[in-house]
């Protein structure tokens, strides 16, 4: 049970990091284009 919970937390953290990275890249790209 503890192992499954840690896997879920890890997946959630990785998805949050990917979303933040995507927004960061999109924000810089919009500044670069303007």
Which pLDDT belongs to residue 2? 81
Q: What is the largest CA-CA distance in the chain?
A: 50
**1-34 pLDDT, tens per residue?**
689 999 999 999 999 999 999 999 999 999 999 8
Which pLDDT belongs to residue 34? 87
* Sequence ranges of the domains in the chain: 1-34
User: Distance (Å, rounded) from C-alpha 10 to C-alpha 15?
Assistant: 9
User: Distance (Å, rounded) from C-alpha 3 to C-alpha 9?
Assistant: 10
Which pLDDT belongs to residue 15? 98
Q: Indicate the SS3 state at residue 1.
A: coil
Which pLDDT belongs to residue 21? 98
Question: What does DSSP assign to residue 34?
Answer: -
SS3 content of the chain, % helix, strand, coil (to 5): 95, 0, 5
């Amino acid at each position: 049970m503890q192992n499954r919970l840690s896997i879920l937390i890890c997946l959630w953290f990785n998805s949050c990091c990917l979303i933040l990275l995507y927004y960061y890249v999109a924000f810089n790209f919009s500044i670069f284009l303007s």
